[in-house]
């Protein structure tokens, strides 16, 4: 990591794997996010948000998780994360790498660790106390020891018990935009080969009958995936040379893994890079995935001082709770 480089910025041109149409992300009460953007000549063109920053954060994190084994990719062995198991049978439920709110997930904050509620455990680990300022570096070091990925993808400790409600912003941000877009209207029909007429015993609202439907996809002159890695923010954590370099290596590994593995964002949105030689805006190449994996492994070994428990996963137990009546404490389901 260069001491004077503040950010690494990547703009990767993409295309549909087959055909020219794609389906963008949709938002409640909005649908596709269509907006005008400058065309560089004083005019405007229609642009489309194909994938949002919050969704891309999930895609990036998913590259480092092995869903077949319910564990992180072996490349990251030695890095901690919180693993949530069922209180009843000890079966894996979720983890801080899978939850949208990461360490602040409801499944984590309502879990128990060695007989102590995780809200209190996190409060203690982050050293949150009344009548004292929050130390950003102290928070960063504590979060690193719980799950260093949260220092890349962000976490907000919003509970009142977490005094000061500290927040870590994303250090890596990605999104996909399409420019000069046009609608591609099509449709189809769901056919019913049994019921040929609608009756009072069940109609289309129950799923019976032949039902036509419309579909809106899009085409574009250009699709670009953009990634911004904030190196200045990573350095501000005060984790030392090895800790900072490790976070940068993890982030670049995630970007490379996502690009190499293909961006199948939805059934009708499967994208791939136009080129496999990826460089940032300064012309620095993104190393191959294998090389980045070796760098991650070497740097993990150099971060012993940041991993007091040897980087082992932190196992917690979670049980569903019934919503308490006013004035009652929560109770676990029978």
pLDDT tens digits, one per residue of 294-311: 999 999 999 999 998 889
pLDDT tens digits, one per residue of 202-232: 666 667 777 777 789 999 999 999 999 999 9
Name the nearest CA neighbour of 237 among 247, 250, 226, 251: 247
For the residues of 69-134, what is the DSSP string, one character each?
Answer: TTEE-GGGTT---EEEEETTT--EEEETTTSTTGGG-HHHHTSEETTEEHHHHHHHHTT--TTS--
Q: Where are the domains of the chain?
A: 7-186+214-332
pLDDT tens digits, one per residue of 79-115: 999 999 999 899 999 999 999 999 999 999 999 999 9
């Amino acid at each position: 990591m260069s001491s004077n480089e503040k950010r690494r910025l990547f703009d990767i041109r993409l295309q549909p794997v087959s055909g020219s149409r794609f389906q963008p992300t949709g938002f409640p009460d909005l649908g596709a996010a269509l907006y005008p953007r400058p065309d560089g000549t004083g005019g405007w063109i229609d642009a489309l948000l194909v994938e949002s920053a919050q969704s891309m954060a999930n895609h990036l994190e998913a590259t480092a998780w092995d869903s077949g084994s319910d564990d992180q990719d072996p490349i990251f062995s030695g890095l901690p994360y919180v693993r949530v198991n069922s209180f009843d049978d000890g079966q894996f439920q979720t983890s801080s790498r899978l939850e949208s709110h990461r360490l602040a997930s409801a499944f984590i904050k309502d879990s128990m660790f060695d007989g102590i509620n995780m809200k209190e455990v996190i409060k203690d680990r982050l050293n949150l106390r009344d009548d004292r300022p929050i130390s950003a570096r102290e928070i960063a070091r504590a979060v690193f020891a719980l799950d260093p990925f949260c220092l890349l993808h962000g976490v907000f400790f919003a509970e009142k018990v977490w005094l000061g409600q500290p927040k870590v912003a994303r250090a890596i941000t990605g999104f996909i935009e399409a420019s000069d877009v046009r609608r591609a209207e099509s449709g189809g029909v769901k056919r019913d080969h049994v019921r040929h007429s609608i009756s009072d015993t069940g109609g289309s609202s129950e799923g019976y009958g032949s039902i036509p439907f419309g579909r809106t996809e899009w085409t574009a002159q250009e699709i670009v995936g953009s990634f911004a890695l904030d190196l200045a923010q990573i350095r501000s954590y005060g984790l030392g040379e090895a800790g900072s370099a490790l976070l940068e290596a993890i982030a670049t590994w995630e970007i490379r893994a996502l690009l190499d593995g293909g961006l199948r964002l939805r059934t009708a949105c499967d994208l791939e890079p136009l080129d496999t030689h990826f460089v940032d805006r300064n012309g620095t190449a993104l190393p191959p995935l294998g090389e980045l994996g070796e760098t991650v492994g070497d740097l993990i070994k150099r971060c012993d001082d940041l991993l007091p428990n040897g980087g082992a996963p932190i196992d917690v137990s979670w049980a569903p709770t019934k919503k308490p009546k006013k004035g009652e404490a929560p109770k676990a389901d029978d």
